[in-house]
Amino acid sequence: MTFSIVARDGDSLGIAVASKFLAVGAVVPVAECASGAIATQAWANLRYRPDGLELLRQGNDASATLAELVAADPGRADRQAGIVDAKGGSATYTGTGAMDWAGGTSGPGYAIQGNILTGPEVVAEMVKVWLAQAELPLAHRLLEALAAGDAAGGDRRGRQSAALLVVSPGGGYGGGSDVSHDLRVDDHANPVSELRRLIGIHDFLFQRPDPAECLELTGDLGSEVRTLLGSLGHPQPDLDVALSELAGIENFEERLVPGRIDPVVLEYLRRLVTGT
């Protein structure tokens, strides 16, 4: 009833999943930076998530972890799971009772699997796109692989939900956690497309800019930004204070750089004022 990709890229780990199932993101994925990432699906055994992470913490690799989870599970014939460990080791499992089409494959740093699919082309296309998009950040690379599986047919029962979970050291909001992405589309006619829309919003709000690419708030630019902020109700003499005020309303705090402005934020301010 589900297709997913579990993967590692550098220090980041993540899962992208879609299904004809309500709120699949609440069931399938779990990830931890120092341990690994797991997708549990088909007749999902939710114990695979905490138990699998614990086995990975103990130093087991993906293959050993998945083998132990399956061996201890009386319902193993109906299960499907994929694991990637923190070193990039990978493993996938499809029980003999998983509903057709069901199967998966794994390679260095990835495991891709699905059940009740239109056919093996779903997994094949996901692998193809995953391998071809190595230049993308992990979250976007996972999404492109998921979208390829969806375009190839995906879940043969239809579409309902999708999710993306990515962990990266200090990647969470304000650096206070490792969860850089936790996006869920719980019930939607086209959940993968909706997930793509959400990741675009996420990029704007939470992607931290390179300070070297930010523009100094001096001269004509400083004057323009002061005018823009004033028209938006933030006529502070200190531009950093005014930007911080607006960021607190618009939620782009992660893009603030003292004395400078992120070009993305500048364009956003211009569009807010012009209404375009």
Res 243: pLDDT = 96
Whether the model clears a pTM of 0.75, i.e. scores above it, the answer is yes
Burial (CB < 10 A; 0-12, 13-18, 19+), residue 117, is buried
User: Given this model, what pLDDT does residue 92 score?
Assistant: 98
Please list, in sequence order, all residues whose beta carbon lies within 8 angstroms of the beta carbon of residue 194, skipping any fewer than 6 positions away: 162, 185, 188
Say what the pLDDT of residue 1 is: 67
pLDDT in tens, the chain (276 residues): 699 999 999 999 999 999 999 999 999 999 999 999 999 999 999 999 999 999 999 999 999 999 999 999 999 999 999 999 999 999 999 999 999 999 999 999 999 999 999 999 999 999 999 999 999 999 999 999 999 999 999 999 999 999 999 999 999 998 999 999 999 999 999 999 999 999 999 999 999 999 999 999 999 999 999 999 999 999 989 999 999 999 999 999 999 999 999 999 999 999 999 988
**Structural domain boundaries in the chain:** 2-206, 211-274
Q: CB pairs under 8 A, 24+ apart, for 87-91? A: 87/61, 88/8, 89/61, 89/62, 89/63, 90/6, 90/62, 90/63, 91/62, 91/63, 91/65, 91/66, 91/67
Region of 162 (left: φ > 0; alpha: ψ -120 to 50; beta: rest) is beta
CATH 3.30.1360.30 fits 2-206, yes or no: no
Contact in structure between 145 and 112 (CB atoms under 8 Å): yes
